[in-house]
Amino acid sequence: MTARADILARLTGTATPAGIAAEAAALLIAPERPRVDPAQVEETFLARLTLSSVAATVDRIATLADLPAAIARYCADQSLPLTLCVPPDPRLGQCDWTGFTLHDRAAPDEPAALAIARCGVAETGSLVFETGAAAPMLPNFLALHHIVVVPQVVAYLEDATLPGAHPRAHYWVTGVSGTTDIEGTYVRGAHGPRFLHVIRLG
Amino acid sequence: MSFATRVDEALADRNLKLAVERTAGTAEAKRTLAVDAFPDFDAARDRAAAIKDHVVANLGHYLQAFEANATAAGAQVHWARTAQEACDIVVRLCKAANAKSVARSKSMLGEEIGLPHALAEAGIGRIETDLAEHIIQLSGERPSHIIWPAMHKTREQVSALFKASHRAPHEEETIAAMAESARRHLREGMLAADVGISGANFLVADTGAVCTVTNEGNAELSLVPPRMHIVTAGIEKIVPSTGHAVHLLRMLSRSATGAPLSQYTTFYTGPKRALDRDGPEEMHIVLVDNGRTTMREEGLAEMLRCIRCGACMNHCVVFRQIGGHAYGGTYPGPMGAVLTPAFDGLKQSRDLPNACTLNGKCQEVCPVRIPLPTLLRGWREKSWREGLEPASLRSGLGTWAWFARRPRLYRAATATALRAMRLMGRSGWLTRLPLADGWTRYRDMPRPTEESFMAQYRKGRRS
Ligand code: SF4
């Protein structure tokens, strides 16, 4: 017998697929979770971003046309050159990047990378991403400064999940790369970003 | 080395006690804050347990659904009955990919099946990318905790290890500078690796996704650049859908570190798509049984709920005194004392279930409500039935004797045992006493006063 057949032979059950599906669905009715006031989703998200476990800085823009100026402000604050890894996202084509040096492949020691999240999550202050032709993943982990545009905010993690077929990666970023592995002392920038800057769009 | 010897060595090591106290104590405090901020946490634990029980009851169904969906997404699914089969599959895949080096993202299952050793035997270079696992790899040790594997190491020891092995090590003796040195060193290795190997926190049946959770982001840096991503996962890691994973993620991070969510939660579904800019060309998922179907059949199904959060060990009075290495298995603490006899055999590990006060603290904090004390008692009874206890301990005072010979442990144990006894007391009289099982089978003991004699004595002397 193959390993597969052997293992499955020991795991036979009598429940029908429909019965199992009904039970699984029932287990998700009204889940307990920290409550997010529906009238305060935006405020809750912004408050979460400033928690010490997330520790993001925040800016706000009305349209994507304002994005280069917002990034220039951040770079000036952080004494960074106007050099940026940007994803090949057509939405960024409408921005005037005069004064910036842009590239779309992240270097091993990339100083700063820009990404557009699908949404932010108020419950946890998470930023939600999916990989695709216009959205590589690696720059978001290589860069020291992770700069993220957030066009939309949802209340709960469940609202951020993807229905249907998934892309290669669907991921939630909640803060910066951190470790407490040496004597329990918290250090930011263990492997990935040390700084997270959120630019709320709209 | 016997368990007793390892415990005695651990008890003699004052540094170890400080290190364990510091990390476990912080984790305990942070968990308490997180749970206090989540009003329905107890009901949420019931739901988490019910989700896991539902999966374990229908495991065959869900494994096949996961296999079908992961395959449809382009991943290749492999099945392994034993640790050896699992390691063989991984080594074969690495060799087929002509891999010189693999980057491994921390996985307790990988430790359980002996993957680091198997890769070394096959001559495949391995870099551990979790900072603590990196430290452990350099020191040639095993993890001493499932969340903080290097919790027993001091900063001076870490500094010396890094200076001996990093190309451009830190100059300043600060923890931040040491972490920076590891960042430089490990990044090179991750970007150069041919294969990335991870475990899975969850396998999502209805999408075929594999979910990893880290605070460092090392999983993503280990798994995106290489040509091949190999996952080794226990078959109990299945969840029906992402929604079920969300519920368990809320429980996992709060119970482990006190955070509402870990920094990086990633769902990987199949290999790189045609137009993707990055990601591996191949994704392989090895579903590992290694005793789990037997646990399910033979009375340990509840243990398959475990989401490896580490809360039970952080709150365990024995673990806090002796640390993780003394347990001798892959998994330490209360969950390890239940799992190790299942993996290694009761004969070799029958001391582990004895090294427990049955104070119930682990069960109280377990996010999936595993009745750890009951399972430990089950092992004790089995050990008795099978005549594995030496004659000297067959008086019925085996556990008591085990503690009584170690005064420091005994004091810590009795302090919490008193608490447990008060909870267990009925109308002032106990019918069962954790540290003297054999005795109370035949006579009742009076309910203890609020503090132990020693504690009252010390207080009396102070006032
Ligand atoms: S037994 Fe419970 S508390 Fe212990 S690691 Fe597993 S889930 Fe966490």
**Measured in angstroms, how far is the CA atom of residue B22 from the centroid of ligand 1?**
20
Question: Which chain B residues are Cβ-neighbours of A161 within 8 angstroms?
Answer: 242-243, 246
Residues B281 and B428 in one domain: no
Show which of residues 397-426 on chain B sit within 8 Å of chain A, judged by CB atoms: none
Q: What is the pLDDT of residue B268?
A: 98
Residue B99, in any domain of the structure: yes
Residues with CB under 6 A from ligand 1: B 255, 306-312, 335, 366-368, 370
Q: What is the pLDDT of residue B446?
A: 39
Give the residue from B258, B293, B328 where a domain finishes: B293
Q: What is the pLDDT of residue B19?
A: 86
**Measured in angstroms, how far is the CA atom of residue B292 from the centroid of ligand 1?**
16
Q: What is the pLDDT of residue B401?
A: 65
Distance (Å, whole) CA B411 – CA B427: 26
Residue B334, in any domain of the structure: no
pTM of the predicted protein model: 0.90
The CATH number for B82's domain is 3.40.50.10420
Q: Is the pLDDT of residue B63 over 60?
A: yes
Distance (Å, whole) CA A181 – CA A184: 6
Residue B147, in any domain of the structure: yes
Residues comprising chain A, all counted: 202
Residues B271 and B400 in one domain: no
pLDDT category of residue B397 using cuts at 50, 70 and 90: low
Domain that includes residue B238, residue range: 35-293
Q: Does A90 touch chain B (CB under 8 A)?
A: no
For residue B432, count other CB atoms closer than 10 A to its CB. 15
Q: Does B248 touch chain A (CB under 8 A)?
A: no
Residue B333, in any domain of the structure: no
Q: Does B151 touch chain A (CB under 8 A)?
A: yes
Residue B315, in any domain of the structure: no
Residue B385, in any domain of the structure: no
Nearest CA among B423, B416, B333 for reference residue B376:
B333
Mean pLDDT of B227-240: 98
Residues B130 and B268 in one domain: yes
Q: What is the least distance, in Å, from the CA of B161 to any CA of chain A? A: 12
Percentage of chain A beyond pLDDT 90 is 90
- Give how many domains chain B has, as a whole number: 2
Residues B419 and B271 in one domain: no
Q: What is the least distance, in Å, from the CA of A131 to any CA of chain B? A: 7
Kindly determine whether residue A174 and residue B263, on different chains, have CB atoms separated by under 8 Å.
yes
Kindly determine whether residue A166 and residue B264, on different chains, have CB atoms separated by under 8 Å.
no
Provide the ipTM: 0.97
pLDDT category of residue B213 using cuts at 50, 70 and 90: very high
Percentage of chain B beyond pLDDT 70 is 85
Question: Which chain A residues are Cβ-neighbours of B193 within 8 angstroms?
Answer: none
Q: Is A189 left (phi over 0), alpha (psi -120 to 50) or beta?
A: left
Q: What is the least distance, in Å, from the CA of B278 to any CA of chain A? A: 6
pLDDT category of residue B459 using cuts at 50, 70 and 90: low
Alpha helices by DSSP H, B193-285: 218-223, 242-256
pLDDT category of residue B17 using cuts at 50, 70 and 90: confident
Q: Is A68 helix (H, G, I), strand (E, B) or coil?
A: helix
Residues B169 and B289 in one domain: yes
Question: Which chain B residues are Cβ-neighbours of A20 within 8 angstroms?
Answer: 54, 58, 61
**Measured in angstroms, how far is the CA atom of residue B99 from the centroid of ligand 1?**
35
Residues B104/B137, Cβ–Cβ less than 8 Å: no
CA B304 to chain centre: 12
Question: Which chain B residues are Cβ-neighbours of A106 within 8 angstroms?
Answer: none
Residue nearest to atom 8 of ligand 1 (CA): B309
Amino acid at A47: A
| Host H or E run for residue B229 | strand B228-234
Q: Which of the residue ranges A10-24, B2-16, B437-451 would you say has the lowest mean pLDDT?
A: B437-451
Residues B412 and B286 in one domain: no
Q: What is the least distance, in Å, from the CA of B38 to any CA of chain A? A: 6
Residue B14, in any domain of the structure: no
- Output the CA–CA distances (angstroms, integers) from residue B114 to B111, B117, B276, B310, B330, in the order listed: 5, 6, 34, 20, 9
Averaged pLDDT score across all residues of chain B? 87
Contacts 24+ apart (CB under 8 A), B347-353: B347/B388, B349/B3, B350/B379, B350/B383, B350/B388, B350/B389, B351/B2, B351/B3, B351/B4, B351/B402, B352/B3, B352/B327, B352/B328, B352/B379, B353/B377, B353/B379, B353/B380, B353/B383
Kindly determine whether residue B187 and residue A191, on different chains, have CB atoms separated by under 8 Å.
yes
Residue B243, in any domain of the structure: yes
Question: Which chain B residues are Cβ-neighbours of A181 within 8 angstroms?
Answer: 130-132, 135, 148-150
Residues B93 and B229 in one domain: yes
**Measured in angstroms, how far is the CA atom of residue B458 from the centroid of ligand 1?**
35
Give the residue from B264, B293, B322 where a domain finishes: B293
Q: What is the pLDDT of residue B431?
A: 41
Give the residue from B249, B264, B293 where a domain finishes: B293
Residues B279 and B397 in one domain: no
